[in-house]
Amino acid sequence: MSTDPQLLTPEAEARQLQELYQHDMSRCLAVIEGQYGTLQSRSQLILSLVTITLTITGFSGPHIAASGRVARVAITSGLSLSLLSALLVIAGILSLRWNTQLAAKDHHALLTHLIRRREQKTQFYRGALAILSLGLSLYTAAAAAFLLSR
């Protein structure tokens, strides 16, 4: 018999939040807002890593690419994947929709909708992180190929 907690559906999570905070909508929304804030700050980290990658490429990219075919393919692929991860962050996580624009029939429906949106943004974050990880791995492989060619 497993004692591990089970993941809740968005509807069940909304119900749990309402029960936990005795249907105090402002407290429920504060929890969701904090989670959106976590996604925002983690997204900023991904964008910062992509920016660093672009900056390094501006200085060292031509030298790395000139060191051989493997380095050229790896740096081009790594850079492309890094940029793709930034696009996922910008389009999928940092896109705005104000909660005050939403019309819902009741508080439970609103919370459920916000939780679903948070889950969609979380999926974009996971995808962007996986793509960035692969991109940085290829980028590192390009740097290694450059160093080995010396």
More confident residue, 4 or 117: 117
Q: How many C-beta neighbours within 10 Å does residue 115 have?
A: 21
Backbone angles phi, psi at 21, to 5 degrees: -105, 25
Which pLDDT does position 104 carry in this prediction?
Answer: 80
* pLDDT, average across residues 84-93: 97
Give the number of other CB atoms < 10 A from CB of residue 84.
17
- Distance between CA atoms of residues 26 and 91, nearest Å: 28
- What is the rounded CA–CA span in Å between residue 134 and residue 148? 21
Could you give the count of Cα atoms lying within 13 Å of 125 in the half-sphere of its Cβ?
20
pLDDT tops 70 at residue 1: no
The pLDDT tens digits for 36-51 are 999 999 999 999 999 9
pLDDT tens digit sequence for 2-43: 678 889 999 999 999 999 999 999 999 999 999 999 999 999
Contact 65, 26 (CB under 8 A): no
Residue type for position 126: R
Rounded CA separation 36/42 (Å): 10
Contact status, residue 23 vs residue 107, Cβ threshold 8 Å: yes
Ranges of each domain in the chain: 10-148
Share of the chain above pLDDT 90, in %: 88
pLDDT tens-digit readout, 124-149: 999 999 999 999 999 999 999 999 99
Per-residue pLDDT, 57: 92
In angstroms, the CA 79 to CA 71 distance is 12
